[in-house]
Chain A
Amino acid sequence: MKVSAVKYLVVFAIQVKNLLEYKINIYLKLIRPIIMVAAVGALWLVLFKVTGRDSIGGFTRKSFIIYLLVIRYIAVFSPGGASITEMNEEIRTGDITMRLVKPMHYMVWLFARNLPIPLVSGIAGLLMVTLLAWFFGAPVPTGWSGVLFCLSVTAAIITQYAFYQGLGILSFWIYDVFPIERFYKAVSGLLSGELIPLTIFGAAAQSILQFLPFASLAFIPGGIYVGLFPFSKAIILVVSQFIWAGFFWILVLWSYNRGLKKFEAQGG
């Protein structure tokens, strides 16, 4: 299959134009992570105060706030959430047919279409995290740790997007995937370290959970950023992230091809 990147760049550009029609949505998406961090962070600050401890699960107050910010913006960077909605809607109404009769790959088209918001939010988020890290005096990973952090974030975004695409692809078999999405978000929120760092669960549970795909989404990149892991262990964790990312993308593409063959194209 001949693939031209230019057409997807135009899809991206057109989508930027689409989004600019509703600018308020962009501002809200930029602000939302800060509110969520403030809410979760406030709970943890209370916990620090009540217990009177300087460190919980290997996190200080500062490192915990930075950890929360980092993982929240990694989630924002992932162009996935909107694609579930769009894919579910297009598959169940049959509107995906209008994409399938064009010389383009639907999954790449969807990616190009869903990239603008996370790209803008993610870049703004990175700047904000860096500023806040500087403000709180938290260590910013540099050198090889910095490289590992970037690789870890990349793997996290790729895996997160694979999960979201997988959920969207389920629409070929299940009419409404939103209950499954909600379930996934609840499980992922708990097991990824998004709400509670996995170190809180104790050493035994952590040793298993950190190698599950969910940890790839938040705990590993967040932990690398705040220096939670020794360098050698961080390398192993990042490698495991890419193995999961590869595995899930193979699964997603396989499922997509199966789904297309099963597709019934509702409506006239």
Chain B
Amino acid sequence: MINDISFDIKEGAFVGYIGPNGAGKSTTIKLLTGILHPSAGDIRVLDFNPQKDRYQYTYNIGVVFGQRSLLEYDIPVIDSFLLYRAIYELPEKDFQQRLTEFTQLLELDDLLHIPVRKLSLGQRMRCEIVASLLHKPRVIFLDEPTIGLDALSKHEIRNFLRRINQQEKVTIILTTHDMDDIEELCERIIFINVGNIIYDGPLKTLKNNYATHKDVEIVFDNPITVPPPFEPLLKSVDHNIYTFSLERRDTARLIPHLLELGNAKDVSIHEPRLEDVVKIIYSNNSL
């Protein structure tokens, strides 16, 4: 269930819509795609009411649900694409042009004539994304598009989505639990919990406001003794690698002191990962 949420998204934006399980992410996507009917309120996407104008509206959107399939299970992938050409009434020339382009970008050549049931999850998801984009939608809704995929498949799909977003100025709304997806792709985050929006803004601002600490990793050539004043800052020790968690405002001031604790060979400063920020938010349950 979601309550009294309101937001606008600019054309061409890549927005991450995140929150814990049961927060209302998928419900929002289903409302925006016209599948569910709101009990109150008004939804406008591309000047359509998704529920009342469903038929015409769906020509303009692409939808990928990571846990469901757009493709026909028993027949070759190309037949599903041909089915969508008919369903979206695409001119043959446009269809061939996009199919060729996507086939090259996602290296689908060898997959087109294989029945969907024989594809790996990563291969199938690449095909699912193509099926959702053949008709050149103006808005794409992605619900967990990288769920269960290996690192390489995730990388390929992210690159492809970034390219589509930038080249075609298509608006993308991404729902995922994979914070690397969000971090790599989205400039704006809408954070939802228990049906309410608790943050809506740039990814960077979220991190700056909430992630108050940075990790500083120092490699010493021998084990060192950390004096009492620095002990509370020590986060972990792995062989001669010492990781300290420092407040942002103290980082520059404290690093020289830490380097003097031994013979430092290397030092690196890590920005907090969105994954860690989100964990903190989930555990605190507030912003």
Contact B87 A98 (CB under 8 A): no
- Choose the segment among B55-63, B157-165, B206-214 that binds chain A (4+ C-beta atoms closer than 8 Å): B55-63
Given known contacts A95-B68, A98-B65, A103-B58, A10 and B33 CB-to-CB distance under 8 angstroms: no
CB-CB < 8 A to A11: which residues of B? 83, 86-87
Within the complex, the shortest CB–CB distance from B121 to chain A, in Å, comes to 16
CB-CB < 8 A to A21: which residues of B? 74-75, 115
Contact A14 B75 (CB under 8 A): yes
Residues facing B in A76-105 (CB within 8 A) are 94-95, 97-98, 100-105
For B35, B63, B68, the residue with the greatest tally of chain A CB atoms inside 10 Å of its CB is B35
User: In whole angstroms, what is the CA distance A264 to B79 when docked?
Assistant: 30
Contact B65 A100 (CB under 8 A): no
CB-CB < 8 A to B58: which residues of A? 101-103
User: In whole angstroms, what is the CA distance A97 to B89 when docked?
Assistant: 20
CB-CB < 8 A to B54: which residues of A? 100
User: In whole angstroms, what is the CA distance A10 to B88 when docked?
Assistant: 12
Contact of A4 among B26, B65, B89 (CB under 8 A): B89
Within the complex, the shortest CB–CB distance from A253 to chain B, in Å, comes to 15
Contact A14 B35 (CB under 8 A): no
Contact B35 A268 (CB under 8 A): no
Query: A227-268 interface mask toward B, CB cutoff 8 Å, 1 = contact, 0 = none?
Result: 000000000000000000000000000000000110111011
Contact A2 B55 (CB under 8 A): yes
Contact A265 B75 (CB under 8 A): no
Q: Can you name 19 A-B pairs with beta carbons within 8 Å?
A: A6-B89, A10-B82, A10-B86, A14-B72, A14-B79, A14-B83, A21-B74, A97-B65, A98-B63, A98-B68, A101-B33, A101-B58, A102-B58, A263-B36, A264-B36, A268-B26, A268-B65, A268-B67, A268-B143
CB-CB < 8 A to A100: which residues of B? 33-35, 54
CB-CB < 8 A to B36: which residues of A? 263-265
Contact B143 A103 (CB under 8 A): no
CB-CB < 8 A to A10: which residues of B? 82-83, 86-87
Give B residues with C-beta under 8 Å from A.
26, 30, 33-37, 54-56, 58-59, 61, 63, 65-70, 72, 74-75, 79-80, 82-84, 86-89, 115, 143-144
Which A residue's beta carbon lies closest to that of B62? A101
Which A residue's beta carbon lies closest to that of B87? A7
Contact A261 B34 (CB under 8 A): no
For B26, B56, B68, the residue with the greatest tally of chain A CB atoms inside 10 Å of its CB is B68
Contact of B88 among A17, A18, A103 (CB under 8 A): A103
User: In whole angstroms, what is the CA distance A158 to B104 when docked?
Assistant: 47
Contact of B55 among A9, A17, A98, A103 (CB under 8 A): A103
Contact B79 A17 (CB under 8 A): yes
Contact A267 B67 (CB under 8 A): yes
Residues facing B in A8-56 (CB within 8 A) are 9-11, 14, 17-18, 21-22
CB-CB < 8 A to A102: which residues of B? 58, 84, 87-88
CB-CB < 8 A to A6: which residues of B? 86, 89
CB-CB < 8 A to A263: which residues of B? 35-37
Q: Is A208 an interface residue (CB 8 A)?
A: no
Contact of A18 among B37, B74, B87 (CB under 8 A): B74
Q: Is A204 an interface residue (CB 8 A)?
A: no
Within the complex, the shortest CB–CB distance from B80 to chain A, in Å, comes to 8
Within the complex, the shortest CB–CB distance from B21 to chain A, in Å, comes to 9
Contact B86 A7 (CB under 8 A): yes
User: In whole angstroms, what is the CA distance A100 to B87 when docked?
Assistant: 12
Within the complex, the shortest CB–CB distance from B122 to chain A, in Å, comes to 19
Contact B35 A103 (CB under 8 A): no
CB-CB < 8 A to B63: which residues of A? 98, 101
Which B residue's beta carbon lies closest to that of A3? B55
CB-CB < 8 A to A105: which residues of B? 55
Contact B35 A97 (CB under 8 A): yes
Q: Told that A98-B68, A267-B26 touch, could you supply 8 new A-B pairs with CB distance under 8 A? A: A10-B82, A10-B87, A14-B80, A22-B74, A98-B63, A103-B56, A103-B88, A103-B89
CB-CB < 8 A to A104: which residues of B? 87
Given known contacts A95-B68, A97-B30, A265 and B35 CB-to-CB distance under 8 angstroms: yes
CB-CB < 8 A to A4: which residues of B? 89
Contact of A103 among B72, B75, B82, B87 (CB under 8 A): B87
Within the complex, the shortest CB–CB distance from B66 to chain A, in Å, comes to 8
Which A residue's beta carbon lies closest to that of B27? A265
Which B residue's beta carbon lies closest to that of A15? B72
User: In whole angstroms, what is the CA distance A185 to B37 when docked?
Assistant: 34
Which A residue's beta carbon lies closest to that of B57? A103
Within the complex, the shortest CB–CB distance from B144 to chain A, in Å, comes to 6
Within the complex, the shortest CB–CB distance from A48 to chain B, in Å, comes to 46
Within the complex, the shortest CB–CB distance from A254 to chain B, in Å, comes to 16
CB-CB < 8 A to B143: which residues of A? 268
CB-CB < 8 A to A265: which residues of B? 26, 30, 35-36
Within the complex, the shortest CB–CB distance from A225 to chain B, in Å, comes to 37
Contact of B72 among A7, A18, A260, A264 (CB under 8 A): A18
